[in-house]
Amino acid sequence: MNQDAAETIALQALGYIASDPEALEGLMASTGISPDSLKTAATEPGILVGVLDYLLMSDDRTLAFCDFMEIDPTLPGRAWSVLTGRDLS
């Protein structure tokens, strides 16, 4: 997976999370970012990593996202690895 693909998955995850007010509140609490800042900083690597961190905190949330997007459940973790330069395991 390349950087662009990883960023795309993170942005899709952000859109998915933003569609659920409770999940969005959890993301903002987890990252410490405000709704206004989230809109303007959504493409910053640190924010994208925070989105994936939040998504990956819950297997149920991760699987629901992957099911909704019809993607392989390993892709969010692989995207996280690309964006952080670290191995998820």
Domain ranges of the chain: 3-83
Q: State the pLDDT confidence band at 36, using cuts at 50, 70 and 90.
A: confident
**Which pTM does this prediction carry?**
0.87
Q: Do 64 and 44 meet the contact criterion of CB atoms below 8 Å apart?
A: no
Q: Do 62 and 34 meet the contact criterion of CB atoms below 8 Å apart?
A: no
Instruction: Indicate left, alpha or beta for 32 from its phi (over 0: left) and psi (-120 to 50: alpha).
Output: left
Placement of tokens 């206004």 in the chain: 36
Spatial CA neighbour of 59 closest among 72, 73, 49:
73
Tens-place pLDDT, residues 48-83: 999 999 999 999 999 999 999 999 999 999 999 999
